[in-house]
Amino acid sequence: MNIKVFLTQFSPILLSSARKFQQIMCAWLLVLFCLTFVEFFFCDVFKSFPEESLLLIGLALFNNLIFWLKTWLFFLPVFTALFFFRPSIAKTSLIILLSLLAALHLALVVYFSTTLVPLGADIFGYSIADVKQTIGASSVLNLPVISVIIIILTLSIVTFIFIPPRIGANQKVALVITIASLATLSNALKQNSVPLNSEYENSIVLHKSDYFFSTGFNYFFPKNVELDIYADSYILQYEGSDTSISSFVFPDEIHYPFFHTNEAPDVLTPFFKPIEKTPNIVFLLVEGLGRAFTNEGAYLGNFTPFLDSLSGKSLYWKNFLSNGGRTFGVLPFVFGSMPFGKNGIWELNDQLPNHLSLYSLLRYNGFQTSFYYGGNAGFDNMKLFLQRNAVNEINDLASIPPTYEKLPAKANGFSWGYADDQVYSYFLKNNKSANAVQPSLSVLLTVATHDPFLIQNQSKYLDAFEQRMDYLGFNEAKKSSYRVFRQQYSTILYADHAIGDFFRAYEKRADYSNTIFIITGDHRMPEIPLRSKIDRFHVPLLIYSPLLKRTAQIESISTHLDIVPSLLAFLKKNTTMKLPATGSWIGSGLDTVRSFRNIHSYPLIQTKTAMIDFVQGTYHLNDNQLFQLNRDLEEIPVKNDAKLSELTSSFNYFKNKMEKLSKEGKLLPDSLFQQYKIH
């Protein structure tokens, strides 16, 4: 068949197909624009909408247009092929697919309006059971919201059926649109990525479906990372300057990419009295405890009066970072100083590589080890990590007696579990360290400061929230903007009060004088708008003990990964414990210099599938954007190609080591693991 015959026979079909496609897709663009205003409505009703609304609406509509062009390019060949087979099937199929896309987009919008975090590929990193539990806990879905969703979806379907016939189609316009959609493939046209006033504003204008699909594509089809030959020298040169922390030495990087022969320096002993007896160690890991609203100088205001008073008697790191943006990472990072995996190294289940941790090493040295959590310890595979580290006691939702009070249940009957003060009370009653001969390591992880932010006696803490705003000197306009998040702030005040009661009760115990308390957040609560990208990781760290002989307010940056190396160095110096001189810790130790600086180079992982952040020196790399940090951990976007290349290369170096680990599957030699294995 020659071209002339083909055009004569099929040209009318092609033209008719293009016309019908253009009409339906124009209706799709109208639906997308309407969904944008629905998103702004949800954000304004459930949270708050920034003042520069016109700019944000314009950017959001532009990002809708970019997503629409991508869907044009994706559906055009499919529609055309079906149209040749049967036009009615092509039309019906496209309307159904676009309606499903509208439903998904609306679900993503509702999710963001509650969590203030766009949902990406991280959902693929969770088990079905974890997803069900998260949905059950969330305050996203309720009868009014479901009613609005049904109404909007119905209107969308009506739009697809009745609007297209009333839209005029033009061949030239269709050609221009197709060319523009092709430009999105080469990133000639892309979503706005210029940083706005806050991370919250950046997230508002982000197209939620585009983000979901693009992160999902990158998750299932990751790009191969090419290692810059100078990456290693970047890290070594940086870490070796202006610091007492030596560069790591890797004796067999091919088989054990993270195993090194270095020990962290002992920086804690100078702050303590002479240790006469091996101390007990108690960790309080507080859900969502961010620096943004914790202690003096918090940019949102100090809503933790007890912790603020305790910080003045402690070693207090103002610019401390979690290495994970959600709870999934807190146990492996804080107690194992472990590297990440594809979905978190703890998601490897039975293939989790042999490793040492603070838990296992202290248990090996005769400590009684325990974990207390108000929720289900199986969530995020926490229980697997604890069992692999031979923790003596795991106390959670399944084992804490029902005589203790749970958090209030939602309308669907879901409750995360036991309230913070109840977990503390159970620990104080159940833990026998006060009368025990052996020392103990106790870890308490809280859950009350988590969506849906329901606590007992909530009215009491809502009143405390109002009083706190008066104390902080807020005017009426500022109070009004904060009241949008009154549920969140009330739980923060509750959590702080519960910690205060815990300490007042612990002071009466005989072992109080020989106990070291370590308090930090697992990550910063995202349900109160984030100021910046680093804000998600900015948490306080307090080390408090009656054994301290002097205190310090520390501005230098350290992370969760640094806790284990420093604690082990301290215990090795001050006790007779048998501890290894080598290890696979990612962290190189806490920095106790009081002035602002960062001697570390570390990756951060926002969700299980989003390892796009890297901090080195005073710079923060987020995806392909570079920011500079100041002493308040505010970040300013900078244009510095040399520094961008340096951090990218260092980040790629770490990613390549992770790739080696995933292939070799070993963190340390079997001989070292067997030496400290708990039998």
For the beta carbon of residue 618, count every other beta carbon within 10 angstroms. 17
Is 21 a residue whose pLDDT tops 50?
Answer: yes
Phi, psi of 140 (to 5 degrees): -65, -50
Helix (H) or strand (E) holding 536: none
At 405, which amino acid appears?
E
Q: Using the predicted structure, report yes or no on whether residue 215 has a pLDDT greater than 90.
A: no
Q: Tens digit of pLDDT for each residue in 390-425?
A: 999 999 999 999 999 999 987 667 788 999 999 999
> Is the per-residue pLDDT at 29 higher than 60?
yes
- What is the rounded distance in angstroms from the CA atom of residue 400 to the CA atom of residue 126? 25
Name the least confident of 73-82, 301-310, 362-371, 553-562: 73-82
CB contact burial 52-73 (16+ within 10 A = b; e otherwise): eeeebbebbbebbbbbbbbbbb
> Within 10 A of 434 (CB to CB), how many other CB atoms are there?
15
CB-based contacts of 159, cutoff 8 Å, min separation 6? 27, 30, 31
Q: What's the pLDDT at 341?
A: 66
Residue carrying structure tokens 């072992």: 511
Q: Which helix (H) or strand (E) holds 26?
A: helix 3-46
Q: What is the mean pLDDT of residues 225-251?
A: 51
The kind and range of the H/E element at 548 are none
Q: What is the model's pLDDT at position 623?
A: 87
Lookup: tokens for 237: 């040169």
User: Sorting pLDDT into bands at 50, 70 and 90, what band is 233?
Assistant: very low
- The string of pLDDT tens digits covering residues 496-516 is 999 999 999 999 999 999 999
CATH homologous superfamily for the domain 265-597: Alkaline Phosphatase, subunit A (3.40.720.10)
CA distance 235 to 667: 20
Mean pLDDT score, 84-96: 88
Q: What is the pLDDT of residue 434?
A: 54
What does the alpha-carbon distance between residue 617 and residue 238 come to, in Å, rounded to a whole number?
A: 8
Rounded CA-CA distance 496/473 in Å is: 20
Q: Token pair for residue 551?
A: 């205190």
C-alpha pair distances (Å), 372 with each of 282, 347, 360, 396, 431: 11, 21, 17, 6, 10
| Residue 533 per-residue DSSP state | S
Please give the mean pLDDT across all residues of the chain: 86
Distances (CA, A) of 325 to 287, 532, 610: 11, 13, 9
Share of the chain above pLDDT 90, in %: 52
Q: What are phi and psi of 518, to 5 degrees?
A: -125, 120
Tens-digit pLDDT profile for residues 283-328: 999 999 999 999 999 999 999 999 999 999 999 999 999 999 888 8
Distance in angstroms (rounded) separating the CA atoms of residues 150 and 617:
50
Rounded to the nearest 10 degrees, the angle between the axes of helix 3-46 and helix 143-162 is 150
| pLDDT category of residue 379 using cuts at 50, 70 and 90 | confident
Residue 402 tokens read as: 């029902």
Please name the residue that has the structure tokens 């960062």. Answer: 598
- 3-state SS assignment for residue 446: coil
Dihedral sign for Cα atoms in the order 618, 657, 608, 44: positive
Amino acid at 466: E
**50 prior amide bond cis, ω within 30:** no
Q: How far apart are CA 564 and CA 355, in angstroms?
A: 13
Q: Given pLDDT bands bounded at 50, 70 and 90, which one contains residue 618?
A: very high
Summarize pLDDT for 321-361 with one digit per residue, the tens: 999 988 888 999 999 999 886 655 655 666 778 889 999 99
Rounded CA separation 82/85 (Å): 5
> Looking only at Cα atoms, what is the longest distance across the chain?
97
d(CA 591, CA 387): 31
CA atoms within 13 A on the CB side of 478: 10
Ranges in the chain annotated CATH 3.40.720.10: 265-597
Radius of gyration of the chain (CA): 27
